[in-house]
Structure 1
Amino acid sequence: MAGPPLFVVFNLASGRGDREEVRREIESACAAQGRQADLLSVDAPNRLMETAREAVRRAKAASGIVVAAGGDGTLSAVAQATLGSGCPYGVLPRGTFNYFSRTHGISADIREAMKTLLEESPQPVQVGLVNGRAFLVNASVGLYPQLLEDRESWKQRIGRSRLVALGAGIATLLKGHRSLRLRFDAPDAPDAPQELRTPTLFVGNNALQMEQVGLPESRAIDRGRLAGVALKPVGRWALLGLLLRGALGRLGEADALVDFSFKRLTVRARRFGTRRVKVATDGEIVWMQLPLTFEVSPEPLMLVRPRGLAPERAAQQAQRDDAPLAETERSLP
């Protein structure tokens, strides 16, 4: 008996690789198993949410699966439309970093990703919200959104790669920055600061990303919380040092970090007259009204994924868990 049909939101403007090859692989994999696949192509960014909602509408009517094919922004937008609909959600990752898919054991290879979609079952995964907008990997205010804007500009001119992303980050930090004066209200996080001057606030929902740059509080995400990280005010050269630490996976060793975990956090600006701020959610930049409320979504996203911990995630966790033992061994005579 054939399984549920797939309704694929295929963003032609995002991700990388041969679009026609992706289309052929989707169609041939589904045909081999007698499964229906409807591809809803998106050729302009302003049509992404409209197309995602249409995919959800069709999936609900046919008891099907909503699938996002594209980069992080596409995955996040389609997740936003799918959350709360009762429809399963699948991904065909085509981005540069693919933290969400890697965390959940979904391959960037289109054939392997299709195999997962057609053979595995939906499992609940945590989603973060900022003022009701879903994010799968992270959300941020301050310097980090500017880093993302500049990185995207570099990618459009030079190409997509991790080296380009690093170069764009260095250039942004050298331009200087302005700190934000923020007030925090997090009833379930006694270690959170009440007030802080910071160049950026970063809220993580992806333990793999945080572990790879050495950020603290990655364990909190595994316990159903979000991880908050803010920087103390520092100069541009110190910021460059933090960027280097992140590239080496040692950011958590920096004294300039303030970190805490929470289920719900309200952020207000101390400066009078500040009503809107620029917010980055999974690489997409939007303006939002203050105050900002970051929280764990009360309902999970039902992601089609392999069971168990993804191999890369398991390796990172094992390395993290072995770290105290390694430090002890190094200190022995």
Structure 2
Amino acid sequence: MKFAAVLNRDGGTLRNADLAALCDRMCQTLETAGHSLSIDVVAGKDLVDALDGATSRRSVDIVLAGGGDGTISAAAARLMGTKKALAILPAGTMNLFARGLGIPQSLEAALKSFTDGEIIAVDMATANGRPFVHQFSIGMHAKMVQLRQKMEFGSRLGKIRASVKAAWATINNPPAMNVTLSIGKAEIAARITGIGITNNLFGEGHLPYADNPAGGVLGVYVTVAQQRTELLKFFFNMARGKWRDNQHVEIHQADRTVLKIHSGSSKFRAVMDGELVRLDRETTVEIQPGALNVLVPASIAKAEAA
């Protein structure tokens, strides 16, 4: 197969990596297995242009994206609905979409899995037409990301520390929003501190990612916790994947949901796959079944087919 790799040198763990050595290993690993590979190492500001270039090349079978969650989301958005497949080099802090696909978390193991990997179709989701692979969220998560962006960190560990500080600040001063959420024929009006709408339901007992990336549903997680003890329990359970243990979280599923904001939306933001975006007064979120081809380890493809 013909791979076109785009590595975001400013993204995730790649910012501190020996990229020349990594590129040499990538070429050796894939070319020894009979594949061809071209590599573009780009700055974050040039990422979109590089991805557009890779996806537009007719000879390319697989676009290999390396970086954090934002990089992977940007690549997936350009491959959505095409015959080309996405391969993920997991170089982010959490790599949640990659985890859901069964991609090994070390760069070396991920590269090795590409040599005999297989292509499967998985779901994506859209928010007012904009694609995402993991989650669209408002409220606490968005505020936490806004606070974290004001902090300086230069490593994965530094980002984790900044996230903890931002989470604590959010717990001490949580946002509250009046919303209406339409799920199927039901309409929920509530004052919430957070809503996460996910590309398939999160699994239980681990970090928040979908066990079945082709389940064909949105997961809708509505958080109404407001007191500090309630919020602490929410964050603790979320980190352990114990969603159903939290009495302040309502869980729904649907193929389409409409979110309407009744609070002053201009002061709030949303987060899509880890990136802050404008929050519209009304957002329609829809699942897009089988919209993305991905390269996964052969063992994962066999398990999906079974």
Q: What band does the TM-score fall into relative to the shorter chain? A: 0.7 to 0.9
- Residue 51 of structure 2 is matched in structure 1 by 52
Once residues 248 and 304 of structure 1 are traced to their aligned partners in structure 2, the CA distance between those partners, rounded to angstroms, is 28
Deviations 1:104-156 (A, max 9, x none): 221122232222223222100111211222222211012211212334555x4
1:127 aligned to which of 121, 124, 129: 124
Once residues 49 and 288 of structure 1 are traced to their aligned partners in structure 2, the CA distance between those partners, rounded to angstroms, is 22
- Residue 156 of structure 2 is matched in structure 1 by 160
- Residue 259 of structure 1 is matched in structure 2 by 251
How far did 1:68 drift? 0.8
- Residue 284 of structure 1 is matched in structure 2 by 275
Same amino acid, percent of matched pairs? 21
Deviations 1:146-204 (A, max 9, x none): 212334555x43642385266224432244023111112222xx5x5521210111112
1:200 aligned to which of 186, 194, 198: 194
1:125/1:299 CA distance change after superposition, 3 Å? closer
Once residues 122 and 172 of structure 2 are traced to their aligned partners in structure 1, the CA distance between those partners, rounded to angstroms, is 38
> Structure 1 counterpart of 2:53, which letter?
E
- Residue 40 of structure 1 is matched in structure 2 by 40
How far did 1:220 drift? 8.4
Once residues 208 and 106 of structure 2 are traced to their aligned partners in structure 1, the CA distance between those partners, rounded to angstroms, is 27
Does residue 26 (structure 1) correspond to residue 26 (structure 2)? The answer is yes
How far did 1:103 drift? 1.9
> Structure 2 counterpart of 1:280, which letter?
V
SS state of the match for residue 251, structure 2? strand
- Correspondence list, 1:75-90, <5 A: 75-90=72-87
Deviations 1:194-237 (A, max 9, x none): 2121011111226556642589xx68866310100011151234
8 Å CA contact 2:65–2:75 kept in 1: the answer is: yes
- Residue 4 of structure 2 is matched in structure 1 by 7
- Correspondence list, 1:1-333, <5 A: 4-17=1-14, 18=17, 19-44=19-44, 46-58=45-57, 61-154=58-151, 156-157=152-153, 159-161=155-157, 164=161, 167-187=164-184, 193-205=187-199, 207=201, 211-212=205-206, 223-271=215-263, 274=265, 277-307=268-298, 309=300
Deviations 1:227-255 (A, max 9, x none): 00011151234212322233344342121
1:50/1:276 CA distance change after superposition, 3 Å? farther
> Structure 1 counterpart of 2:12, which letter?
G
SS state of the match for residue 177, structure 1? coil
1:294/1:91 CA distance change after superposition, 3 Å? same
Structure holding more helix per residue: 1
Once residues 100 and 220 of structure 1 are traced to their aligned partners in structure 2, the CA distance between those partners, rounded to angstroms, is 11
Once residues 211 and 28 of structure 1 are traced to their aligned partners in structure 2, the CA distance between those partners, rounded to angstroms, is 37
Structure 1 unaligned runs (5+)?
315-333
TM-score (norm 1): 0.79
8 Å CA contact 1:68–1:75 kept in 2: the answer is: yes
TM-score (norm 2): 0.86
Once residues 275 and 22 of structure 2 are traced to their aligned partners in structure 1, the CA distance between those partners, rounded to angstroms, is 23
> Structure 2 counterpart of 1:176, which letter?
N
Larger Rg: 1
Tell me how many residue pairs correspond in the alignment: 300
Q: CA RMSD in A?
A: 2.9
1:51/1:148 CA distance change after superposition, 3 Å? same
> Structure 1 counterpart of 2:93, which letter?
T
SS state of the match for residue 167, structure 1? helix
1:278/1:209 CA distance change after superposition, 3 Å? farther
> Structure 2 counterpart of 1:55, which letter?
A
233-242 vs 197-206, which moves further: 233-242
1:40/1:226 CA distance change after superposition, 3 Å? same
1:34/1:306 CA distance change after superposition, 3 Å? closer
